[in-house]
Amino acid sequence: MPVDRQPQTVRKAVVVGGNRIPFARTGGAYTKSSNQDMLTAALDGLIARFGLQEERIGEVAAGAVLKHSRDFNLTREAVLGSALSPETPAYDLQQACATGLETVLGLANKIRLGQLDSAIAGGVDSASDAPIAVSEGLREVLLDLSRAKTLPQRLQILARLRPKDLAPDAPSTREPRTGLSMGEHQALTTAQWNISREAQDELALNSHRNLAAAYDAGFFDDLLTPYRGLTRDSNLRPDTSPEKLASLKPVFGRSLGSEATMTAGNSTPLTDGASTVLLASEDWADAHDLPKLATVLDGEAAAVDFVHGKDGLLMAPVFAVPRLLARNGLTLDDIDYFEIHEAFAGTVLSTLAAWEDEKFGRERLGLDGAFGKVDRSKLNVNGSSLAAGHPFAATGGRIVATLAKMLHEKGKAGGRPALGLVSVCAAGGQGVVALLEAYSAGTTAGDIHD
Amino acid sequence: MTDTYARLVNHGLGRDLARKLGLPQPADLRRYRPGQPLIDGPVLVRGSGPGADRIAAALLSWGLDVRRHAVPKERLGGIVLVLDALEAPGDLEQPVLAAAPSLRDLAPGGRVVTVSRVPGGTPATAAARQGVDGLLRSLAKELRAGATGNGIVLAEDVSPTAPSALGALRFFLSGRSAFVDGQFIRVSSAEGRLPDDADAPLAGKVAVVTGAARGIGAAIARTLHRDGATVVAVDVPAAGDHLAEVANGIHGTALQLDITRDDAGQRIIDHAVHRHGRLDVVVHNAGITRDKLLVNMDQSRWGSVINVNIAAQLRINEALLASEHFRSEPRIVSVASTSGIAGNRGQTNYAASKGGVMGMVRATAPLLAQHGGSINAVAPGFIETEMTARIPFATREIARRLNSLQQGGLPGDVAEAISFLAGDSAGGISGEVLRVCGQNLVGA
């Protein structure tokens, strides 16, 4: 007997809302919190906001960049510790700093294809509770020891240990193939694009001011749940000034020939935190009387050859965004909000400079000229990572939930639903970007029909 | 938060010692648990006239063991003294003295409930009716072992078996009123109805509780949920983590909201209606203290207390009264305080705000009446919370014992009273202040 198969049409995936815990500078309020603790807390806040207790969510996907080996099932364990139904499946994902955004895109696609009706995307990271591994020498000895059968064998293996083998192997943000830290890599790019110290400090200042203003206006009241006594991001400095930022000493790029411009003020600090985003089909959201803030339209990943110095480590979004917009028949001028993750002020400014560069547009992007100019009044209007901090895998969720709420509040722009662009750079020369639109019933710029 | 003394004098050696030394012996109160019988043991209904007969019939219909005459040496769960037909002070003597010997047979955690009428009529009638007030309050102070005495006062034209009269009677007889002692509930109309399921009186209702992240507010949220309501738990964003815990524990939703915002009322309505389809009950529990002697009071201490504790309630009520979503027998219950009645040194601002709550409740009652709604306040006395746990030891010990039950109440005791006033059976009770104070010796 023939079975009626579901029609293979693409439907909408909407952002219902989000929840994160305040981000804490490493060594601060969350020093004793594990990734699992923080992700569970972020989930429980989301569950409370949307009344999802004992709900079987289609799938939960999250991840962490700095991850203990014991956390092989981090997201599932967090789900089991949360108020969700224990019958909610989950998986871990890891794509460096793009982890959070990639969970959103992957789950949104499953919803669009009808595989899921509801999903929670997220990410968490703790640089405070980072895993510390034993040295390679000690690890080999321990493994050999476990395989040894006799006492003489064991003694022989132990004798191989040298004092240096006992030093632990702490995680670092160094690129394995270049040995350079992320900051040193960005310093190269910042210098290459001639980004001034003043421009970087100004971007950092705006980030703090915008984030502080958003908090004061109550913007985060339904995006954030306090955790361990923290009610705001601990990195936020509402009272910072151009003078204070200008007084900081450069920390990256000091060995370059040119002037060093990157300071602790215009770079993100190591941060602990977690974020979550509730995604759903329109029907599921309606059936649960939940809001539909924005539609996840499309996403694009890119990677660059930073190993051979062809492009800067964090410049992949420069290539991903033109491809994404072209596919959707859009230009930068069509975008109402830009959310460009501020790994470093220099990253954002180098990205904008590349897009404004005629030669780069022609030679690297294959365009007729410059890709375009980002209206700075539409950029990170409620602050970004320089002020909030950047717990690697948690940043994507923070941005998507924030942007979805902004798009919902904006509603329409020029007679069509407001559009928002997310851009997140990541280690390994990668970048993931996404396009969101204020929710409106009916067809949208990104609808694909078959 | 635990009352170590009470635990000590209720067990073993401590109990014997306390008895010999004549120390106060606070009893374990009979508190409500879902599924338990309304009251343990028979209920003696005394009083002449048709009112007593009708109440006895109602109690019988609830499956209670009802006595119209005392059986010597029989342990009684409760005594209902129906005094609704008094015409002169002399009328008190017969029914009161007839019931008196039965007080000896009242079981631990027993209940005495009077039913009388609002003072009025001829001077003699008014004297008789008002006499019940003094009688009951004194009697409540004579009861021991966790037994309480409370009264129902009927407006002139309200039947003793009006829904809210019976609702109040159920409340007083049950374990829900454990820490209510020496108090009167006035029934002013025949509005309201008894719930189909006494263990789920709020089934199908959507209730908003402000200040729900901890303490009394969290207990209110949990109790309303236990009684069948879907709860929207509201608190300031800074308390969001505790709020989420409360909401997740009761299958409710958390709304992080500063109730002093101008649009707080609208946001509460929107959340309840959009997410849960309706709004039936609003419990104004959120409150703050900023204690200081008046001579040292500053603007910020005074202003913030007035703003949070009463001005915000007024603004939210304005939005509720204007909303078409709050017109189906709506209920508002505000948390006042015995400080607002009796005063409290160092709390001029707080007592002013809580006195304000009681004034507001009285004046709002007629505005809600047209929609079959009601608004009341509950005034807690000494309640064991994180807040009172911070009071210095000696002061706390005194505050705790200074009531007829010789102990502090629990947050749940306040919540029970609020849940009762939030229910259908409280429709005929409006503009009232119910004290949950164990008959605190200070104040009214």
Q: What is the pLDDT of residues A324-377, one digit of tens each?
A: 999 999 999 999 999 999 999 999 999 999 999 999 999 999 999 999 999 999
Per-residue pLDDT of chain B in tens (444 residues, 90 and over written 9) = 567 777 777 777 776 766 676 667 788 899 999 989 999 999 999 987 789 999 999 999 999 999 998 888 899 999 999 999 999 999 999 999 999 999 999 999 999 999 999 998 899 999 999 999 999 999 999 999 999 999 999 999 999 999 999 999 999 999 999 999 999 999 999 999 999 898 999 999 999 999 999 999 999 999 999 999 999 999 999 999 999 999 999 999 999 999 999 999 999 999 999 999 999 999 999 999 898 999 999 999 999 999 999 999 999 999 999 999 999 999 999 999 888 888 888 889 999 999 999 999 999 999 999 899 999 999 999 899 887 888 888 888 888 888 888 888 999 999 999 999 999 999 999 999 999 988 987 644
Q: Report CB contact under 8 Å: B244, A222.
A: no
Residue of A nearest to B235 (CA): A221
Domain B206-436 has CATH 3.30.830.10: no
Closest approach of A240 to chain B, Cα-based (Å): 23
Q: Are B47 and B95 in contact (CB under 8 A)?
A: yes
Q: Is the pLDDT of residue A5 over 80?
A: no
The reported pLDDT for the residue numbered B444 is 42
A226 contacts on B by Cβ (under 8 Å): 237-241
Residue of B nearest to A225 (CA): B240
The reported pLDDT for the residue numbered B4 is 74
Which CATH number does B33-187 carry? 3.40.50.720
B33-187 and B206-436 share one fold: yes
Could you confirm whether A390 is annotated as catalytic?
Answer: yes
Q: Is the pLDDT of residue A1 over 80?
A: no
CA distance B378 to B367: 19
Reported as a pLDDT band with limits 50, 70 and 90, residue A448 is very low
Query: pTM to 2 decimals?
Result: 0.89
When computed from its CA atoms, the radius of gyration of chain B, rounded to whole angstroms, is 21
Q: In terms of pLDDT, which residue wins out, A177 or A219? A: A219
Q: Report CB contact under 8 Å: A222, B256.
A: yes
Reported as a pLDDT band with limits 50, 70 and 90, residue A192 is very high
Which two three-digit tokens encode residue A51? Answer: 């009344």
Tens of pLDDT, residue by residue over A381-416, are 999 999 999 999 999 999 999 999 999 999 999 899
**Region of poorest pLDDT, from A3-17, A71-85, B194-208, B351-365:** A3-17
% of chain A beyond a pLDDT of 90: 78
**For A41, what's the count of Cα atoms within 13 Å in the CB-facing half-sphere?**
28
The reported pLDDT for the residue numbered A446 is 47
Q: Are strands A416-417 and A412-413 parallel, antiparallel or unpaired?
A: antiparallel
Evaluate whether ipTM surpasses 0.90.
Answer: no
Q: Report CB contact under 8 Å: B244, A47.
A: yes
The reported pLDDT for the residue numbered B441 is 77
The reported pLDDT for the residue numbered B426 is 96
Which two three-digit tokens encode residue B304? Answer: 């913030």
Nearest alpha carbon to residue A268 among A448, A25, A45, A59:
A25
Count A/B contacts: CB-CB distance under 8 Å: 68
Closest approach of B275 to chain A, Cα-based (Å): 5
Domain positions in chain B: 1-30, 33-187, 206-436
Closest approach of A40 to chain B, Cα-based (Å): 12
Reported as a pLDDT band with limits 50, 70 and 90, residue A380 is very high
Q: Are B314 and B284 in contact (CB under 8 A)?
A: no
Q: Are strands A250-252 and A262-263 parallel, antiparallel or unpaired?
A: antiparallel
Closest approach of B247 to chain A, Cα-based (Å): 6
Chain A contacts to B (CB-CB under 8 A): 41, 44-45, 47-51, 53-54, 83, 218, 220-222, 224-228, 231, 289-291
Option in A44, A224, A291 nearest B248 (CB): A44
B251 contacts on A by Cβ (under 8 Å): 51, 53-54
Say what the alpha-carbon torsion angle B66, B68, B70, B76 is, to the nearest 10 degrees: 30
Catalytic residue among A97, A185, A208, A408: A97
Tens of pLDDT, residue by residue over A269-305, are 999 999 999 999 999 999 999 999 999 999 999 999 9
